[in-house]
Amino acid sequence: MFTNKYKSWEKNLVKLATFDTVEDYWCLYHHMKTPSELELGQDYSIFKEGIQPTWEDDANIRGGRWLIGFEKNNSHLDNVWLFTVLLVIGENFEYSDEICGVVVSVRTKSKLGVWLKNIGNKKAIFEIGNRLKRQLGIDERIKFHNHDKPQNMYTI
Which one, of 105, 87, 83, 104, lies nearest residue 96 by Cα?
87
**Which of these ranges, 24-32, 48-56, 73-81, 82-90, lies near ligand MGP under the rule CB under 6 A?**
48-56
Among 55, 95, 126, 154, binds ligand MGP (CB under 6 A): 55
Class of residue 38 by CB neighbours under 10 A (exposed 0-12, middle 13-18, buried 19+): buried
Give the CA-trace dihedral at 65, 68, 69, 74, to 10 degrees.
Answer: -140
CB of 54 to ligand MGP, least distance (A): 4
Among 107, 131, 133, 143, binds ligand MGP (CB under 6 A): 107
Say how far apart CA 138 and CA 130 lie, in whole Å. Answer: 10
User: Does residue 143 interact with ligand MGP by CB under 6 A?
Assistant: no
User: Does residue 105 interact with ligand MGP by CB under 6 A?
Assistant: yes
CB of 15 to ligand MGP, least distance (A): 15
Say how far apart CA 118 and CA 75 lie, in whole Å. Answer: 32
Q: Which amino acid is at 127?
A: E
CB of 94 to ligand MGP, least distance (A): 26
Say how far apart CA 117 and CA 49 lie, in whole Å. Answer: 14
Among 3, 36, 54, 118, binds ligand MGP (CB under 6 A): 54
Give the residues lining the site for ligand MGP (CB under 6 A). 9, 54-56, 105, 107
